[in-house]
Copies of this chain bind each other. A is one copy, B any other.
Amino acid sequence: MFEPTIKDIAHICGVGVSTVSRAINDHPDINPETKEKIMDAIREYGYVPNDSARNLKRVDAKAIAVLVKGIANPFFTNMIKTIEKECKKKRYAMELSHIEADEDEVDVAQKVVKEKRLRGIIFLGGLFSHSEEKLKKLNVPFVFSTVGAIPENISRKAYSSISVDDRRESARMVEYLIGLGHTKIAILVAEAQEESIGKLRLEGYCDALRSHGITIEPKLICQTQDELSHFSMENGYLSTRRLLERGEAFTALYAVADALAIGALRALYEAGLRVPQDISLAGFDGIDMTDYTVPSITTMRQPVEEMAKDTTRLLFDIIAKKTKHQHIVYDAELAVKESTACGGS
């Protein structure tokens, strides 16, 4: 099987290789007629430029990476899909890489950037606790999306971030539950180490309780144990069972992620507890699934599409030096559904 190269096309058309190159890359210095002739030949012989050769030669390889930690969370699937679409629009290649729980995201980023000559990175999920020094070594712009708080000792001018105010929105959710009359509110929280999203949402929970003079009961705080897939249904299910076994009474259960809430719903059902009559259940993220469970689950909807679009656009703009690093905070939307009702004392 004959695979034509740019040289073959040039030879066929009786032009130089640089002219063919100009034709494929929409360069201005070319006669429209010549260009058309070349494009015809390209179609006829099925020529496709070799990506490796291009990236090798080009200074500005058009590619970015998306590094995801915790793919188990369905919330990210939507995010990734949208980011991919945006990349296609801008004719950028997108390198998707999952980061294992035990891997260091910056190390992976570093490797992948050098390997593939990427122009930028999007970090999705995970927590983040790295030195600024190490980050600088990346030497490409990066933006964090839904990635928890970044430690104070890293200059905010050194990176971009896109997220909702997890702590505040979490507090809003708990305040909503309190407003319904609940005082014994249990919380299901995964990956609560350091400055992770889980930790932030837990803090929001504490904020809300505190500001309403409700004492924080450690027995109502249930940390999931599974290290591998933090925000999974299975994790929510098992954790809720452990919570119930403790025997501590509560009238509302707040899971810091929808996937956890779905697992919780099942565990509550098996324990003979009705939602929302016996227990109100709330989640966070706003994944589609919460609309289809029975009962549907009250949640904090993050504007995924918008966030994903802005994430991509922001990164492109930074690459093109059209803008400096930014920190965009979105409002989440409290989506009240069937799983929450008045309750409490």
Contact = CB atoms under 8 A, between A and B. Distances in A.
A150 to B, nearest CB: 22
Q: How many copies does the complex hold?
A: 2
B233 A289 contact: yes
Contact of A98 (B48, B84, B269): B84
A55 B54 CA distance: 11
A74 B71 CA distance: 12
Interface residues of A, number: 43
Contact of A52 (B56, B269, B292): B56
Nearest to A54: B52
Interface of A: 1, 3, 46, 48-56, 61, 71, 74, 77, 81, 84, 96, 98, 110-111, 114-117, 137, 139, 233-234, 237, 262-263, 265-266, 269, 288-289, 291-294, 296
Contact of A292 (B46, B115, B237): B237
Nearest to A292: B266
Nearest to A58: B52
Contacts of A98: 81, 84
Contacts of A292: 233, 237, 262-263, 265-266
A305 to B, nearest CB: 15
Contacts of A116: 51-52
Given A139-B1, A266-B292, A48 B111 contact: yes
Contacts of A233: 288-289, 291-292
B51 A115 contact: yes
A54 to B, nearest CB: 8
9 cross-chain pairs, A with B, having the tightest CB-CB distances, nearest first: A48-B114, A52-B55, A52-B56, A51-B115, A52-B52, A266-B292, A1-B139, A269-B294, A233-B292
A48 B137 CA distance: 13
A111 to B, nearest CB: 6
